[in-house]
Amino acid sequence: MALKKKGDKKNISYAIIRNANHKMGAVPLVERHNERRNHNYTNKDIDHSRTHENYAIKKPQETSYEKEFYRIKEAYGLKGNLRLTGEKQSTILCEFIITSDKEFFDRIGKERTKQFFLDTYRFAAHKVGGEEFIVSAVVHMDEKTPHMHLTFIPTVKGKDRKGNPCRRINASEFWKGRDSYSRLQDEFYEWVTNCGYDLERGVKGSSAVHLSVEEYKIKKTEEQLADLQGKVEEVKAVDSISTTNLPFNMVSVKRADFETLASAAKGYVTAKALEEKNKELSEENRRLCNENESLKQENKVLSAKYIELDIQFSEYYDSVSEQVDLQAENTKLNKEIDLMKLSLEEKVELINKLNKERMLLKDEQSRLNKVITGLTDELSSLKNRFDRVMDFIHKQGLKEKLDNFLHPKRKR
């Protein structure tokens, strides 16, 4: 990373945050790179002996980025009219690449570097609407410059068809506005400086907007090559200086030529070192271009495979869709029959219970009828006996005696 010179000659590092958008077809490639699951790497910056130093600030709960995307989408009811297959796929993941330059991380040390990525992780969580929308956050320590790959689902607040508040997956809306990238840089710079890091904001108006990691590396390499070529041309300008011979092995040059010569002389040592650097950067640029082209080709192959699989799945689904519908309807009817059976059994049980109670009541009624019949017969027998007694009393003239006996008169 280029360093800015201030009046006090102090080297100033920059706060760097870049974004890359990814469609479903590219998600496995992103995962393999971030999680170091590739078998071979053409990137010479990767020191495999240090890969164990890489660490995750947030790991996916599922076994892959794709499964984690679907888990988060379902868990938080994320809406969105997404096209996940075919050539024109929707952007479903964004990726922040957060870093500075090597000198900055060397200056603050390992512990402070870890804290830097924790602090910037908190910034990202705030920026994307919550930590729950972050799929993965991995810090790479096995390259020349430490950096963090943070993948997230771009969501925006909205309303569903019923007018209820919800969150929608929409990358275009998330990055709405021509100044969205500039605002990201401003917010990121303000955050890191408030956290106490001595960093400068990236240059405003930069064209490095939403670049992929490899495109960003290529662009920065080209910028360094251009700067290096300017210094080389400055040295070559010495060949055009004309001289005038003077006595005692002395020469005379014009003042402008002298200044050019002096400037070139001061940069001579630097130019020699930069010449070697130029070769390295040229090779690096060529390698990155080849790697980028290789990734594009791999992406095309994978996209073709996805299209083929999508077509095969559609054909298979059409062939079994009717069977699936019939099976679903059959399952539904079986459940309804089970409910009807259960209801009928309950009714039969209730009827049997009522019949038992009716029989018991009938038996009780029969018993009471017998008791009433017995009482009626006894009452009739008693009445007959009473009538016979009264008839005997009348015939014997005992009625007056009976009355006196039953109602004796008191003596005065």
103, 11 contact by CB (below 8 A): yes
Distance CA 244, CA 205 (A): 48
51, 142 contact by CB (below 8 A): yes
Distances (CA, A) of 290 to 84, 212, 283, 383: 28, 15, 11, 131
Indicate whether 75 pLDDT > 90.
Answer: yes
Distance CA 69, CA 52 (A): 26
Indicate whether 176 pLDDT > 60.
Answer: yes
Where does the pLDDT of residue 6 fall: very low under 50, low under 70, confident under 90, or very high at 90 and above?
A: very low
Q: Over the stretch 114-130, which tens digit does the pLDDT of each residue have?
A: 999 999 999 999 999 99
- Is the pTM for the entire model greater than 0.75? no
* pLDDT mean over 348-356: 87
Distance CA 77, CA 169 (A): 10
Q: How many CB atoms lie within 10 A of CB 57?
A: 19
- The separation between CA 216 and the C-alpha centre of its own chain, rounded to angstroms, equals 26
Beta strand ranges found along 198-354 (DSSP E): 199-200, 244-246, 250-252
Q: Over the stretch 270-317, which tens digit does the pLDDT of each residue have?
A: 556 556 666 766 776 777 777 677 677 666 667 666 666 666 665 565
Q: How many CB atoms lie within 10 A of CB 137?
A: 25
* Element housing 203 (H / E): none
DSSP secondary structure letters along 312-354: HHHHHHHHHHHHHHHHHHHHHHHHHHHHHHHHHHHHHHHHHHH
Rg of the chain taking only CA atoms, in angstroms: 49
Alpha carbons within 13 angstroms on the beta-carbon side of residue 136 total 27
325 residue type, one letter: D
87, 303 contact by CB (below 8 A): yes
Indicate whether 252 pLDDT > 90.
Answer: no
* Element housing 357 (H / E): helix 268-396
Q: Over the stretch 165-175, which tens digit does the pLDDT of each residue have?
A: 999 999 999 99
pLDDT of residue 407: 76
Inter-residue long-range contacts of 318-326, CB under 8 Å, 24+ positions, other chains counted: none
Tokens 């796929």 identify what position? 89
Beta strand ranges found along 247-399 (DSSP E): 250-252
Query: What is the percentage of the chain residues whose pLDDT exceeds 90?
Result: 35
Indicate whether 149 pLDDT > 80.
Answer: yes
Phi, psi dihedral angles at 9 (to 5 degrees): 70, 10
176, 129 contact by CB (below 8 A): no
Phi, psi dihedral angles at 11 (to 5 degrees): -75, 125
* pLDDT mean over 82-99: 91
Domains defined for the chain, CATH in brackets: 10-210 (3.30.930.30)
pLDDT of residue 390: 83
Indicate whether 134 pLDDT > 70.
Answer: yes
* pLDDT mean over 99-111: 94
At a CB cut-off of 8 Å and minimum separation 6, what does 91 contact?
21, 22, 23, 154, 171, 172
Strand order in the sheet with 4-5: 4-5, 11-14, 199-200
Residue 251 bridge partners (DSSP): 245
* pLDDT mean over 220-244: 54
Q: Over the stretch 177-228, which tens digit does the pLDDT of each residue have?
A: 878 888 999 999 999 999 999 999 876 655 443 344 455 445 445 544 555 5
DSSP secondary structure letters along 61-72: SSSSHHHHHHHH
Phi, psi dihedral angles at 154 (to 5 degrees): -75, 110
Instruction: Copy the structure tokens of residue 260.
Output: 């050019």
